[in-house]
């Protein structure tokens, strides 16, 4: 079992990379919206660009058709999450959107136990509840009653629920599939559906402003290809509940960048909530981190 801590360390590092890449997505999204991009065309081009990169990265043989159908089904769930997320981002500040979204670690722990993916341990439940409480406390510092439309909050809560289902489904039905193969199939169905939705709605055209295309490309490459492949690979090593709790650090990434780039101010309750999220992550991963430290302290 000497290899387990090394695998866990790699899994934690991959989730951390995914968290950073995904945490800047609301910032890119706000830049795109400010340049006149609408949610559905943004999603269509996001997944088309991401599909090109993933096709270049994954040139190996494809799984059997029955496996591909299963992966495409999981991808259709991911599409619903993406649409709900960007509809919420269109109506709410970036920090509010990500805070409401991160009620999902609690839902993941419950879904994972119900689906038989992993047991609901007291550590997992307390850590998930701690992350949820931290998000709620941070959201309380944003004065939601002062201007966050109910429609946006409803979209964000829907995104949290659907994303929790996606995490559990991909962990259970995609666990034997390499991360890049799984990501490729998710993006294939996402590109198809979002192109159809955009074509039937506002259309596929984007504003000619360079920052509109740069923001969409950044979402496609950084917040889709990098974040998705890293998250799926990391989740395969540490499990869905731990992955979802650790990815709650995305809240902090978004809050910091929203403060620096969008001038969204952090309040004392927000900092208290951020500290609670960090504490939940440390508590959830304490055992693995202790094993890693013990291994490094041993002579080779």
What is the value of pTM for the model shown? 0.79
pLDDT above 70 as % of the chain: 89
Q: Which residues contact 248 (CB under 8 A, 6 or more apart)?
A: 102, 105, 131, 134, 135, 277, 280, 281
- Mean pLDDT value of segment 44-53: 95
SS3 state of residue 201: coil
Give the C-alpha distances (Å, rounded to integers) separating 121 from 48, 255, 284: 40, 30, 10
Question: What distance in Å separates the CA atoms of residue 154 and residue 148, rounded to the nearest whole number?
Answer: 10
The tens digit of pLDDT for each residue in 60-106 reads 788 899 989 999 999 999 999 999 999 999 988 887 788 788 777 77
Judge whether residue 114 has pLDDT over 90: no
Judge whether residue 300 has pLDDT over 60: no
The tens digit of pLDDT for each residue in 251-288 reads 788 888 888 888 877 678 777 887 887 787 778 767 66
Structure tokens at 66: 């029955």
CB count in 10 Å sphere of residue 143: 12
Band (43; pLDDT cuts 50, 70, 90): very high
The tens digit of pLDDT for each residue in 2-19 reads 445 677 788 888 998 999
- Average pLDDT across the chain, whole number: 83
Distance, CA of 21 to chain centre = 9
Judge whether residue 221 has pLDDT over 90: yes
| pLDDT in the model for residue 2 | 43
Judge whether residue 25 has pLDDT over 60: yes
> For the chain, how far is it from start to end, CA to CA, in angstroms?
16
Question: What distance in Å separates the CA atoms of residue 12 and residue 284, rounded to the nearest whole number?
Answer: 12
Q: Which residues contact 300 (CB under 8 A, 6 or more apart)?
A: none
| pLDDT in the model for residue 217 | 96
| pLDDT in the model for residue 37 | 95
């Amino acid at each position: 079992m000497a290899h387990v801590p090394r695998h866990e360390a790699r899994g934690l590092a991959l989730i951390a990379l995914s968290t950073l890449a995904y945490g800047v997505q609301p910032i890119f999204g706000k830049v795109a919206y400010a340049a006149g991009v609408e949610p559905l065309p943004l999603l269509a081009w996001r997944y088309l660009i991401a599909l090109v990169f993933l096709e270049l990265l994954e040139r190996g043989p494809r799984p059997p058709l029955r496996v591909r159908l299963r992966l495409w089904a999981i991808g259709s769930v991911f599409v619903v999450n993406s649409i709900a997320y960007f509809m919420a981002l269109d109506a709410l500040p970036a920090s509010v959107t990500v805070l409401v979204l991160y009620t999902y670690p609690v839902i993941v722990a419950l879904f994972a136990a119900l689906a038989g993916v992993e047991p609901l341990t007291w550590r997992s439940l307390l850590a998930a509840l701690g992350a949820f409480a931290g998000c709620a406390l941070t959201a309380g510092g944003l004065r939601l009653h002062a201007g966050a439309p109910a429609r946006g909050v409803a979209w964000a809560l829907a995104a949290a629920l659907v994303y929790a289902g996606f995490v559990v489904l991909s962990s259970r039905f995609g666990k034997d599939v390499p991360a890049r193969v799984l990501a490729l199939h998710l993006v294939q169905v996402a590109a198809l559906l979002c192109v159809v939705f955009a074509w039937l709605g506002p259309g596929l055209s984007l504003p000619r402003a360079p920052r509109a295309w740069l923001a969409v490309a950044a979402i496609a490459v950084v917040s889709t290809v990098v974040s998705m492949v890293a998250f799926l690979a990391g989740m395969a090593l540490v499990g869905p509940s731990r992955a979802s709790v650790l990815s709650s650090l995305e809240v902090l990434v978004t809050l910091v960048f929203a403060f620096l780039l969008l001038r969204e101010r952090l309040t004392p309750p927000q900092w208290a909530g951020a500290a609670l999220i960090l504490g939940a992550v440390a508590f959830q991963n304490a055992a693995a981190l202790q094993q890693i430290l013990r291994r490094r302290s041993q002579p080779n």
